[in-house]
Amino acid sequence: MSMKDFRIDPSKGLELGIYTLGEHMPDPHTGKRISPQERIKQIIEMAKLADEAGLDVFNLGESHQEYFVSQAHAVILGAIAQQTKNIKIGSAATIASTSDPVRIYENFATLDLISGGRAEITAGRASRVGLFKLLGYNIDDYKELFEEKFDLLRQINENEKVTWQGKFRAPLEDAEVLPRPLTGKMPIWRAVGGPAASAIKAGKKGVPMMIAMLGGDIRIFERSIDAWRNSLEANGFNPDDYPLTTAGLLYTAKDAETAKEEFYPYLNNGIMLANGDTFNKRIFEHSSEPDDVMVLGSPQEILEKILYQHEIFNNQRYMAEIDFGALPFEKVMDTIYMLGEKIVPAVKKYTTSDL
């Protein structure tokens, strides 16, 4: 097992990408909301612009509730595959708990063929749990569902024919899951929300991890990352062979203070509509500090934060969420251009020279 098995080439430096959860929210200043069709077109355009700007990865989350349009995220990613040439495309995350692993694999293997071998799966347990009732699952089985289905998904990826029996779906006997991806396998990541317990499980299974960092002290996430690497080693895996993705919010302005002033209404809007809560303003005030994982500020401040986090985490990929809370699409486009022109070249320069 090596980084290249996960389509990561460390010699090219830290990978940078963007992701969206597919929110479809009203603007907090005007109360107006675009149509679902326009929002989906925006997501496709985001990926196209990111590809043209030279970013490495574009990910789209799956959600099944009001204020989102990403219920059929694999369908949208299929459209993105046709509109892009080089950028890796995947999920952030596919909710494995409430989907059939066979269908997940069929969808993403097809996506891999359409895209010429650029597809990835990041599987998660769901941070918003309304989809369990909607899709006919018992929320009491939250943990068991994910572990069983994630294991089956990985078995399908590793074996052209699968014999399997579990608790939550019909058994498989010498089942051939088709089509196969371009090279026979795809990268499958485990999404972790921050707590060390989930990170330890990812290490125990020997899988790469994507850790979501909404905000907070860098040391909280460092502990979970250390726990993941220690778990990998304790279970016979070489931590150096397994890539780490860190993911969080990014907003650019002339400086960090301006970024905080402009971004907070959108951040609070997104948290309120998605989770029914507000984002603590006192905690947010700390977001401009070097030891907070939220990446806000001027291009130079953003660069410094990304590089500082890379130094602490030794991550192979950083994913920025740049459209949270109904940010105007003009702002999203400007951020993509800024990342491509100023951040990607500088990050590659500094992280490649460290090798």
Tens digits of residue pLDDT in 8-51: 999 999 999 999 999 999 999 999 999 999 999 999 999 999 99
CA distances from 318 to 40, 49, 323 (A): 24, 18, 16
| Whole-model pTM over 0.75 | yes
Q: Give me 95's structure tokens.
A: 């909710």
Residue 334, amino acid: D
pLDDT score of 280 more than 60 = yes
The pLDDT of 132-147, averaged and rounded, is 89
* 30: CB partners within 8 A, 6+ apart: none
**Calpha distance 246→259 (Å, rounded):** 21
Number of Cβ within 10 Å of residue 204's Cβ equals 14
CA quadruple 335, 337, 342, 347: dihedral, nearest 10: 80
**Calpha distance 192→200 (Å, rounded):** 10
What domains are there in the chain, each with its CATH number? 3-352 (3.20.20.30)
The pLDDT of 238-245, averaged and rounded, is 97
Among 2, 17, 4, which residue's Cα sits nearest to residue 317?
17
Among 259, 239, 218, 250, which residue's Cα sits nearest to residue 319?
250
pLDDT score of 205 more than 50 = yes
Q: Higher confidence at residue 132 or residue 175?
A: 175
**What is the per-residue pLDDT across 76-92, written as a single tens digit (0 to 9) for each?**
999 999 999 999 999 99
pLDDT score of 353 more than 70 = no
Identify the bridge partners of residue 295 per DSSP, sorted by sequence position.
250
